[in-house]
Structure formats: C-alpha cells, structure tokens
Structure 1
Amino acid sequence: MAQDPKSVFAHFIVGNAASMTREEWETDISLAKTAHIDGFALNIAPQDSYTDDVLQVAYNAAAVMGNFTIFLSFDYLSGGPWPVDRVIQTIDRYKDSPAQFRYQGRPLVSTFEGVNNAQDWPSIKAATGCFFVPSWTSLRPQGISGVLDVVDGMFSWDAWAEGAQSKSTESDEAYMDVLGDKPYMMPASPWFYTNLPEWNKNWLWRGDDLWYDRWQQVIQLQPAMVQIITWNDYGEAHYIGPIHESGIPKDAADYVLGNPHDAWRAFLPRYIDAYKSNNASEQSIELELTTVTDPALKPNSNFACANVGPKTAKIHKTLDTITYWYKLNPSTAGDKGGTTGNNPDQGQPVLDPAEVSEDKVFMSILVEEPSDISVQIGQSPPTQLQAKAAGINHFSVPFNGQKGPVAMSVSRNGQTVVSTTGPEITDKCANGKINWNAYVGSSLDD
C-alpha cells in the first residue's frame, strides 16, 4: 500500500473555544494554513455541554476554508472516560465531513490517554471504520507492544525533556521501533509552564532551545505525522496560535496576557516543507555546529549556534528575519510562586525551576547569506555572533544579570539589513511572582 503524504497538525483545546465565533475559527484556520499546518486535532472532553456546537462550527469553517482537515482527539483525563456509544455517535456525526482527515482512506481518531479503556476500541473501530492513533503515553514505548492489536498507529505526548537537559529523540525512536510499519505521530512543542491551583498544576519543563531543536529532530526522523502541542492551550503556555482572552483558564491570565507566541509560527513553513520534502536517504537540511566565544563574557562561556544549510534556501525565498523568545523576568527576580522544575506527580525529581529554565535570550534567525549578528541587553556591551551559512541559524545569549530591552540586528558588509527590539527584561514581577512563560517576537512584528 502506498504511504499517505506526511501531515502536520496542531492540537486544539475545544474547551478553550466555547466562545469563539465562526469568524474567529476562520481566522485561526487561515493563520494555521499560512504556517503550512494541515489541520487541527480537536481535543474534546465528555463533560463539556458545548462540545457538539463547537465541533459543528469548526468542521463547517474548515470545510469552507478548504485544504484544511480536522480529526477528533477524545480526552479521557479531563472529566473521565468517554462512554462507548457517545464516542461512536460523535465519530459518525463528523466522519463524512469534507474537512475530516482520513488516513489510508479511513477517518483518523485519536485520544489523550484512556489506556484503561483500550478494549472499548475494537468495537468502536468496527462500528465507525476509524483509523485509531491514540496518545497512550502512560504506557511508555515498551508498553505499546501489548496494544498493537488495538491501535493503527500511535501519538506520543512526550514532547519535553525531564529536568535540566535538552530533549532527545530516544523515546521517539523507541515508539517507531515498536510500531514497525504502523504510523508514528511525533510531538513537537515549544514550551511548558503551568500554574493552575484549581487543577493542582504548578511546574515547568525545559523549553529554551526546544522549538528549534525539535524541528531538526522531526526532519531527521521523518515520522509519518507530526502534532504540534499546542495551538491554544494557554494554561500550559505552549500555545502557538493567537490569544483569545475568553479561552484563558482561570489563574492563567497572569502569565499569558502580554506574552504572545505568534512568532513561533514564523519559520513553520520552512520547517514543515523541509520535513515533507525529505526522505530517509536524503536530508534537505544539513546541520553544522559552530561555537562563538564572546570576550565580554567570563572565560569558558560559549554560544552554540546550529546553522541550517543552503539546501533550505530551495524551499522558500529567503528573507532576513529575526525571531526571539525569552522570559521577561530573570529567575532571581521575585517569588518563584511554588513552581517546580519537573512534575513530582509523575515521579520526577523536583528541581529548582531556575535550573530548568535558563536565563537566556533564544534566537532563530533567517539570513540570505552569511551575516553578523549583534545582541544587546539594556546598556551592556553588544554580543557579536556569526551566522555562517544561509538559512536558519540558532543562537542563545545569557542575561548575565543584565536588564532592559533586547536589541538584535543582522548586518552584512557593515550594513544593517534587519533589526528589532524585544521588551525589557525586568525584575518587576506581576504580583511579585516570576513569570516563567516566554515572550515571543519577531522582526516581522515591526
């Protein structure tokens, strides 16, 4: 059987969309399409009375917009497990929509957890004809072999590293190995921070370089599908879509409002196109690791920058663009708010959040040709870096105790070709508590 085309989706929390209008749905879909995202995975919980109304609007909007698909992701942790008959009814209601995503000719359906209800799915699949790709991440890759007769593929929620380290591909490779010929849907996420007392959630996992690193891993591993976590989960601070204030959960507004993440979509067309155009024998992106040492820093302090090779330029016309993200509060600026690095409820060791989330400015910068990069925090001496290849170059620069606005520029032959300034890094914390969320911006915003 011929393989289906690779696809990229964004996880969309329907519980945060109860007040969204048809026009807002169409705007969000348009923004996702511009980023080369193929569709939304609609997370739905059994207790929400508005679910069917929202799904109807979403499917209709996607059908009208065209070239954008949707599939259902049944949430088994929020509100408890779904009754079998209701799952069947919901799938049947939307599976013939022109906006329904199909894999191997069958309507794809997913879950968020629900391992304890695994044996519900043979009858659900028989009744609906769905292609079942759940996220049963609690099984870990080694547990998947016990459910291979139930699933048609698998989606992992394991998108973040545990502790003060970068995310590896170890779990992804384990999933792909166990699944064999069955499709793997790989997760990609830029950040994680949550502080929701009503849900007893208050921890962070390392974001930092994750958004850049993860897309290089996607391109390397070539999974059948990718799911971005998430489009609009404001409560966990990994949203890449616009902020709809009505969808922000109680208590999350303090760390969400004023912290846009839209610029994380700026390079998605390039990343997604590189992923789709690649294959196992020919990488369309080449990586070169260099190290640039800035004399203004203390000895042995380095900046690592990975340069995306010239083949990337074939994907889109290059236009010099700066994207950046960082916390607006240093890790010593105020009360840590009880936030832990890692989630102890998952048996993870508790770390100081300052150890997990580094005080750095992170930048992914697209250049048309090798260029000089300048970064200045407040009144500190500028840090000089080099983008050694055309394409996307990634850097990070430590705060080093400096505060103030962050000025960034790209120059060639002594002439500035693009510049931008991000908001100030400050010790002024809202309600005295450090905001562990990221501010994300771009020269395209200027």
Structure 2
Amino acid sequence: MWHIATLLVVLNIILLQVDAARIHHPSQHHIHLTHVRQPHHKVVVAHFMVGNTLPYQFLDWVKDIRLASSKGIDAFALNIGSDPWQPDRVADAYRAAKAVSDSKKLLGHISQPFKLFLSFDMNAIPCASASDDNLIRHYVDTYHAHPNQLIYAGQPFYSTFGGEGCTFGAQDLNEGWMNVMKKNSVTGTHFVPSFFIEPARLHNVTAIDGVFSWNSAWPLGNTAITFDYDQQYLSHLSGRTYMAAVSPWFFTHYGKDTYNKNFIYRPDDWLFATRWELLIKQRESIDLAQVITWNDYGESHYVGPIEGAQPNSQAWTDGFDHQGWLDLMHHYIIGFKTGEYPVITRDRIFLWGRLSPAQANTPDPIGKPANYDITRDAVWAVALLPKAAHIKLTCGPSTVTMELPSGCSKLSLPLTQSCSVVAVLYRMKKEVLTFAPKGYTFTENPSNYNFNAFVAASP
C-alpha cells in the first residue's frame, strides 16, 4: 500500500508536468553503423554537480529528471563533496527519481526507471586517514538498495572524480580503496572511478571494476578529438568496465582571487557531434557514456537548464542557454544505444560557437584564457534532415551554401567581423526553414573574455 503522502506527490507530478517527448523507436528504415550490435545494453549518464543545488526543492529534481529522461539519459552521476547540506539534496534526488518512476507506472508507461549513482568528488572529500571513509560508507549504506540506484553487472554502481592520491590510512591507493569500496561496505559494489593516473598502472589496481576516463571528452592539445585516449585505457583494463566521456565544450574564467582557473580545451570541429560519432563507431568497446555535464556552469559544459546556484560563473554563463545540445544529443544517444541512427522526421538546425574573436583584446582584468589561440572563429552547425535540401548559412559577408543529403550533416561558417547568424533551408528553390536565433550576434569588440558557447536549435 502506498502512503498517502507519496500518492499525493505522484499525483502532483502528473498534474504539474506534461510528459516530455519520449524516445522514438527507430522504424525499419535505419542507417546501419559499422560495428555489430552488442548483446548487453548501453548506458548513458550525465554528471550532475550537487554542489550547485543549494536552493533546489523537490520539484526541481523532478523537472531535471523528467527532462533528462526524455532525451535518453538513463541516470545522473551525483557529484558530491563534503558540504553538510548535500546529503539532504541527495535524499531529495533519490526521492524524486522514485516519485517520477511511480508516476509513470500510474500512467501505464512502460520504461526503465531513471537511475542515480554517487560520484565522490575526492577533491572535496578527505581521504588520508582510515576514519575519512565514514562519509563514503554512509552514502553506500544508505542508497545501495534504493529502487532507483543504478545497478550494473548485478551490483550498485559508484564512481569518483579523482581519488588517485587517496589511501584512507592504508599503505597505498589500491589497499585504501579496497577497504572502503569492497571490504567494509554492506553490499557488493561495482566501482568505476575516474583516477587521473597513467593507464598502465590500472593493472595493479584491483579495487576497481573498471575506469571512467574523464579527459577522453576533449582533445587536450591543438588537435581534433580522436579515440586514441580511450584506447590507452582499454588496452590496460583487461575486460573491465569502460565508461567513456563526452562533452560539448570547456571554458572556465576564474581569477587568482577565486578558483584560479582560466583556460579552454579546443572545442572546434563540432566537438560534441564528432565525439558522439566516435563513441557510436566504437560502441563495441564502451559500456557506459558519461556526459560532462548537466549543470557545471563554471566550466561551461552544461547541457541542462541554468538553475540552482551558480559557482560565481554568471559573467560567462548568463544568457548562454545550452539546451539545444540536449535535442542534438538525443539523436546520438539512440545511435549509441541501438547501433542504428533514428529516422529523422523533421528539419532541425543546430548552431553554436563563441560570440567574439579569440584574438580580441578587452579590459577584462582576469586576462585571456590559456589556449585561447587554438580555437577558430566559426559557427559550428549540424543539420538533421528527412530529405535532401540546400542550405545557406550567413553572418555578415561570410556565407556558406551547399547541398545536403538526408540524414545528419555538419558544416561550419568562418566569422570575420560583427554580424548576426542566419540559416536558411531550401527545397525546389523554396524556403522551407529560416532560422535566425535571437542573440546569436558575433561582435569584434567584446567587453570581457567570454569563450562560452552560444547554442541555438531551430524549433
């Protein structure tokens, strides 16, 4: 029997929330990919910064969970630190995930319940002494049997950000984590951390059941993204679980008086789309894909709505909504999970890029971000078309026109002077879609160094 309070919560969700668009099942007309479909299902999760949820209420979690689920995301990786208020937010997250699952059951929806798992931020959680494991063990003990806990390979799933320097009072990294995640927990765990160590060292780390390669999401130099970084990890995992990273962007702009982080990773060559295409092509080797991130505003790679508490990142985040990437990601998630891209039923155009030149000079006291000179001034565009069409992409004097086939196509537009971006689709010489996103204006003389991406998606 349900408690009356739980029933009221579920009914409230049904009344307040309109069902978001569910994943469309691909029809018989598929674009078949190179690799053979794997017998085990693929999982897509999104990294979620609990540290940015201080003002969150229960229904904020409900809204985020429903939105993420509608785009094909299976779980949130709850990045947690040591703030005393964070356990309450984690409790709300698990309660919301269960309520959303229960509401879908009431409505007769047959779908997998949305899952959560804990990703321990070891930059914030102490881990030098044996007693430092108390917080982690408390979380494991509390949520290991929750119906919305992610279970992988038959065991509750856990991860980290960092932790390669942790010993918990033991002799070394392996013994320390073995004590925390294997010997002293109330249940078995499937432990897939993000340790920033040389992949060759993984052979000697038996406390882990796999690895999450955080930095596989971006090219770490002046190159396009490849699968080489992933391959280094895969060659040393001996068949253990591999969780690959995918991210659309990276820009952070904190001065020396705060977090002292001011740099970019190279986002060019349609990073988000290109990375997803790599993961789909190599899906035989990948068990889980983690999107970095849902809500890390400070590093500009958020794909969810801007809400909650920003970590003093308003200067480069306000006005830069990234939810257009969610719709584009939905297309690729289906390809990753099924091995077949979905049939495209309507024209969509996705545009993103910076709003000022990389070489511009401004009075911004924080200064230019490191690596500013490895990115091009361009609009990055992806078109999803059910039928072939002619596209014209313009910004001031810069113009690109081409004939695009049905399916997914990528194109770019170099930017040379102040202008506004416009994309037009034609069929039989008639305009079928004109997209001039409000706010997508490139300016040669910015007031500060903002290398965040402006993202726009046609309706």
**TM-score between the two structures when normalised by the length of structure 1:** 0.84
Match of 1:363 among 381, 387, 393: 381
Other-structure match for 1:237: 300
Q: Does 1:113 align with 2:173?
A: no
Other-structure match for 2:189: 130
Secondary structure at the counterpart of residue 338 of structure 1: coil
Other-structure match for 2:20: none
Q: Does 1:176 align with 2:176?
A: no
Which residues of 2 match residues 23-422 of structure 1 at below 5 A?
23-46=59-82, 48-66=83-101, 67-81=113-127, 83-117=132-166, 118=173, 119-123=175-179, 124-126=181-183, 127=185, 128-136=187-195, 138-147=196-205, 149-158=206-215, 159-197=217-255, 198-208=258-268, 209-222=270-283, 223-244=286-307, 246-250=308-312, 252-278=313-339, 284=340, 312=341, 315-335=342-362, 337-341=366-370, 351=371, 353=372, 355-378=373-396, 380=397, 382-387=399-404, 389-399=405-415, 401-422=416-437
Letter in 2 for 1:122: M
The separation in 2 between residues aligned to 1:316 and 1:3, in whole angstroms, is 22
The separation in 1 between residues aligned to 2:134 and 2:54, in whole angstroms, is 24
State the Cα distance separating 1:419 from its structure 2 match: 1.9
Letter in 2 for 1:242: P
Unpaired stretches in structure 1, ≥5 consecutive residues: 279-283, 285-311, 342-350
Letter in 2 for 1:78: A
**8 Å Cα contact 1:375/1:407 also seen in 2:** yes
Letter in 2 for 1:365: A
Deviations 1:388-411 (A, max 9, x none): x31111111100x23221000111
State the Cα distance separating 1:169 from its structure 2 match: 0.8
Letter in 2 for 1:21: Q
State the Cα distance separating 1:359 from its structure 2 match: 0.3
The separation in 2 between residues aligned to 1:381 and 1:108, in whole angstroms, is 49
Secondary structure at the counterpart of residue 236 of structure 2: helix
The separation in 2 between residues aligned to 1:340 and 1:142, in whole angstroms, is 32
State the Cα distance separating 1:4 from its structure 2 match: 4.5
**8 Å Cα contact 1:141/1:171 also seen in 2:** no
Secondary structure at the counterpart of residue 449 of structure 2: coil
Secondary structure at the counterpart of residue 227 of structure 1: strand
Q: Does 1:442 align with 2:440?
A: no
Deviations 1:276-331 (A, max 9, x none): 112xxxxx3xxxxxxxxxxxxxxxxxxxxxxxxxxx3xx24421000110111122
Letter in 2 for 1:437: N
The separation in 1 between residues aligned to 2:209 and 2:410, in whole angstroms, is 37
Change (3 A) 1:428 1:21: farther
Other-structure match for 2:170: none
Q: Percent identity?
A: 33
**8 Å Cα contact 1:192/1:204 also seen in 2:** yes
Secondary structure at the counterpart of residue 382 of structure 1: strand
**8 Å Cα contact 1:259/1:439 also seen in 2:** yes
Query: How well do the aligned residues superpose, as a CA RMSD in angstroms?
Result: 1.7
**TM-score between the two structures when normalised by the length of structure 2:** 0.81
Worse overlay, 81-90 or 164-173: 81-90
The separation in 2 between residues aligned to 1:437 and 1:381, in whole angstroms, is 22
Change (3 A) 1:265 1:239: same
**8 Å Cα contact 1:44/1:72 also seen in 2:** yes
State the Cα distance separating 1:80 from its structure 2 match: 3.7
State the Cα distance separating 1:184 from its structure 2 match: 0.3
Deviations 1:256-275 (A, max 9, x none): 00111100011222211111
State the Cα distance separating 1:428 from its structure 2 match: 4.4
Unpaired stretches in structure 2, ≥5 consecutive residues: 1-37, 102-112, 167-172
Change (3 A) 1:316 1:34: farther
Secondary structure at the counterpart of residue 214 of structure 2: coil
**8 Å Cα contact 1:135/1:155 also seen in 2:** yes
The separation in 1 between residues aligned to 2:231 and 2:240, in whole angstroms, is 13
Counting matched residue pairs gives: 388
Deviations 1:326-353 (A, max 9, x none): 1111223332742333xxxxxxxxx4x0
Secondary structure at the counterpart of residue 225 of structure 2: coil
